[in-house]
């Protein structure tokens, strides 16, 4: 059956979708629906911006120097969530890709909240509009009530999983733009591994890496 744009496929993405090179998975996630089941009800978000990280081959990746307690999920099966805490205040949500032990993943940077806006607004009280609810990776995680308790969640586990990505209606390749990743410096700065839906108002602004100044 041909999928209608008005009635997209709500089947969760299977594990073999994620068991591919990260640079294939990342742009293919755009337009898909991320579902977060909370105690208060579901929140659904259409993904509009992502970034790819290629593990031990990528200086910008948390896994570049190998396995640690923090990044262990990245070395596990594809389709699992990798959640990390950053700057002492924010969480970020990633999806593990590629074969086991390769540690690649996709950072979910932004999206449009389409279901459960009222739940997202309670967590994102500073958002000036619904377009800003998940405009950036920390905002996305906050809006969806994502923290380290979800680290390792299997998004392919079925309806009982608190996180899932639906088959949905992916965007066409000519709707996808790419460029350098936000805030990544060093050898990985020039990689055009940030992907977004061209012209979408929920996409976060690009910011180049700014080296931290040492305190005198």
Q: What is the DSSP letter of 208?
A: -
Mean pLDDT of 196-214: 85
**C-alpha span between 204 and 133 (Å, rounded):** 11
- pLDDT for the residue numbered 197: 98
- pLDDT for the residue numbered 58: 86
Q: Does some domain include residue 130?
A: yes
- pLDDT for the residue numbered 156: 96
pLDDT of residue 188 exceeding 90: no
Q: Using one digit for the tens of pLDDT, what is the confidence trace for 133-154?
A: 999 999 999 999 999 999 999 9
Per DSSP, the residues of 128-151 read SSGGGTTBSHHHHHHHTT--GGGT
Query: In the chain, how many domains are there?
Result: 1
pLDDT of residue 161 exceeding 90: yes
CB distance 51 to 181 below 8 Å: yes
Q: Does some domain include residue 205?
A: no
CATH number of the domain residue 60 falls in: 3.10.300.10
- pLDDT for the residue numbered 214: 54
Mean pLDDT of 166-171: 90
Q: Does some domain include residue 102?
A: yes
- pLDDT for the residue numbered 112: 98
Q: Does some domain include residue 215?
A: no
Per DSSP, the residues of 18-78 read HSS-HHHHHHHTTTPEEEEEETTEEEEEEEEEEEEE-GGG-TTSTTTT---TTTGGGGS-T
- pLDDT for the residue numbered 193: 94
Q: What is the DSSP letter of 80?
A: B
Q: What is the DSSP letter of 215?
A: P
Mean pLDDT of 62-67: 82
Q: Does some domain include residue 143?
A: yes
- pLDDT for the residue numbered 148: 96
Q: Does some domain include residue 202?
A: no
Q: Does some domain include residue 184?
A: yes
Give the global pTM.
0.91
Mean pLDDT of 72-90: 92
Q: Using one digit for the tens of pLDDT, what is the confidence trace for 14-52?
A: 999 999 999 999 999 999 999 999 999 999 999 999 999
pLDDT of residue 85 exceeding 60: yes
- Domain of 24 in residue numbering reads as 9-197
Q: Does some domain include residue 208?
A: no
pLDDT category, 166, cuts 50, 70, 90?
very high
């Amino acid at each position: 059956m041909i999928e209608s744009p008005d009635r997209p496929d709500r089947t969760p993405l299977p594990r073999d979708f994620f068991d591919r090179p990260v640079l294939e998975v990342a742009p293919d996630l755009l337009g898909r629906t991320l579902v977060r089941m909370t105690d208060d009800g579901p929140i659904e978000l259409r993904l509009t911006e992502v970034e790819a990280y290629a593990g031990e081959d990528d200086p910008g990746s948390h896994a570049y120097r190998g396995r640690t307690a923090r990044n262990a999920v990245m070395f596990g099966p594809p389709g699992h969530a990798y959640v990390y805490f950053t700057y002492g205040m924010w969480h970020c949500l990633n999806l593990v890709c590629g074969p086991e032990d390769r540690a690649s993943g996709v950072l979910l940077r932004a999206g449009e909240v389409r279901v459960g806006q009222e739940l997202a607004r309670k967590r994102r009280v500073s958002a000036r509009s619904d377009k800003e609810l998940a405009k950036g990776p920390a905002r996305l995680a906050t809006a969806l009530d994502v923290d380290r308790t979800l680290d390792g969640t299997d998004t392919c586990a079925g309806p009982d999983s608190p996180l899932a990505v639906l088959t949905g209606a992916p965007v066409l390749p000519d709707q996808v733009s790419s460029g350098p990743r936000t805030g990544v410096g060093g050898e990985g700065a020039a990689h055009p591994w940030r992907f977004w839906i061209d012209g979408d108002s929920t996409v976060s602004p690009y910011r180049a890496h700014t080296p931290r100044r040492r305190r005198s």
